[in-house]
Amino acid sequence: MKADLLKPLTLAVLVALSTVPAAQAQENGEAGTADATSGLDMGSDVTAERQPGQVYVAEVHGDWERRCAFNPNGEDPCQMYQLLKDSDGTPVAEFNLMRLQEGAQAAAVGTFVAPLETLLTERLTLSVDGGSGKQYAFRLCTAQGCVVQLGLTDDEIHQMKAGNVATASIVPAIAPDQRVNLSLSLTGFTAAYDALTVPAAPQQ
């Protein structure tokens, strides 16, 4: 009995709705665009709002992403990002870089995140185009990996702008007699770096 009543009721509802003017549908809370001919709701685009602190990719320059964190109260802070992979294409490490205030000894700070199985006493070696490079100590380890924060001078930034590839070298804890060399592409480095904003000096 209920099933028999449902069919004509449903049909009646559809007929009634088809005769509702588009303007009335809007007044009843319909947010979509209405078809003037049929009165049908044509839907509206969904726009996702960024949340404070949400990281998004603002631009891509070659092999570098410019990632920013949404700041509803001012300019979004941004940094360069690249995912480093081994010879098999497996993601191994991450490298971020952001500019520092002018006048400091370091022009930029790079953050290198290595796997947790890295031998920390052997430190990170970073070189450009086969040069001798420098070694940097690991600072701490988190659930995501072991972190090195390295200061880069203006001269070192210029080397990276002029270079083709940097090599990040680490030693795995399970094989302390071996080194793992990871390629850090410098394609797009100049454009990505120049797109970063130099932080303003704090007001006295």
pLDDT in tens, 180-202: 999 999 999 999 999 998 887 76
Round the average pLDDT of the chain to a whole number and report it: 83
Query: What confidence tier does 100 reach under pLDDT thresholds 50, 70, 90?
Result: very high
For 54-98, the pLDDT digits (tens) are: 889 999 999 999 999 988 887 888 999 999 998 888 999 999 999
What pLDDT, on a 0 to 100 scale, did the predictor assign at position 35?
Answer: 65
* Range with the poorest average pLDDT among 43-52, 93-102, 151-160, 184-193: 43-52
Length of the chain: 204
Domains of the chain: residue spans and CATH = 1-41 (no CATH), 55-194 (2.60.40.1880)
Average pLDDT for residues 100-123, to the nearest whole number?
93
pTM of the entire predicted model:
0.72
Structure-block tokens of residue 200: 């303003």
Cα→Cα distances 103→80, 99, 100, 164, 200, Å: 21, 12, 9, 27, 11
Cα→Cα distances 64→2, 176, 182, Å: 63, 31, 15
Structure-block tokens of residue 86: 């081994």
* Listed residue (201, 128, 123, 192) closest to 160, CA to CA: 128
Structure-block tokens of residue 30: 């319909």
Structure-block tokens of residue 148: 């090195």
Share of the chain above pLDDT 70, in %: 79
136 pLDDT higher than 80: yes
Q: Which residues make beta-bridge pairs with 112?
A: 95, 148
